Structure 1
Amino acid sequence: MQLDPTKLTPVVNRIKRAHGQLAGVLRLLEEGRECDDVVTQLAAVSKALDRAGFVIIASGLQQCLAEGDGTDSVDVKKLEKLFLSLA
């Protein structure tokens, strides 16, 4: 299933923001900053990427249901694998 890029603009923006946060984490490490500062920013990046992944999966599921003939058109095992990959 191909995702509709026009519906994923908020996800793209979130990933771009996470990209900037990750650059900040690298900068903190290079500057020798405190461990708690680094871990806090790293956790923020991780959470942002996880949320983006869940939105992508949810959008794909919604699109699948809208285009298909109901839940029979959804590959449950594939969705389960996708969700678990983010857990």
Structure 2
Amino acid sequence: MIVEDKNDGQTAEACCHSDSEEGARKSHHSDKMKQGLVSRLNRIEGQIRGIKGMIEKDTYCDDVLTQIAAAQSALGGVAKLLLEGHLKSCVIERIQAGEDEVVEELLYTINKLMK
């Protein structure tokens, strides 16, 4: 199944699968999707370094908090992309395969994201 992000036009195929040799679950995203996610994470990493620098320079608290909110929002955007791809591929595939426990797993993950 192919998933396209309406904001970036990024696509991902079948988000997750089990490695039959190891039994471990792994993600499978297109190279374009991985590049987009890594690019976003690199920008967030830069934001975090900037926040650290602001703290070291005794920047006014409200300005630092504004930057923290921006970094949290950006990280939330990455999570939304991953969650969308996961829902549209992995979760659907596992439910169709009769693996209903994926719903409890998903609810647990969403609860962690919403904290």
Task: Return the TM-score normalized by structure 2.
Answer: 0.64
- CA shift for structure 1 position 70: 3.4
Instruction: Assess, with a 3 A threshold, how the Cα gap between structure 1 residues 60 and 44 changes in structure 2: closer, same or farther.
Output: same
Give the letter for the 2:64 counterpart: V
2:102 counterpart of 1:78: no
Match of 1:40 among 66, 82, 88: 66
1:1-87 correspondence runs (5 A): 1=16, 2-6=26-30, 7-64=33-90, 65=92, 67-68=93-94, 70=96, 72-73=98-99, 75-87=102-114
- CA shift for structure 1 position 63: 1.9
Give the letter for the 2:45 counterpart: H
What is the CA deviation profile of residues 17-57 of structure 1, one whole-angstrom value per residue up to 9, with x for unaligned ones? 11000000000000011111100101111111122112112
Distance, in Å, in 2 between the alignment partners of 1:81 and 1:68 is 16
Distance, in Å, in 1 between the alignment partners of 2:107 and 2:95 is 20
1:54·1:83 contact (CA, 8 Å) conserved in 2?
no
In structure 2, the gaps of 5 or more residues are 1-15, 17-25
Number of equivalent positions:
86
In structure 1, the gaps of 5 or more residues are none
Instruction: Assess, with a 3 A threshold, how the Cα gap between structure 1 residues 86 and 69 changes in structure 2: closer, same or farther.
Output: closer
Distance, in Å, in 2 between the alignment partners of 1:54 and 1:60 is 10
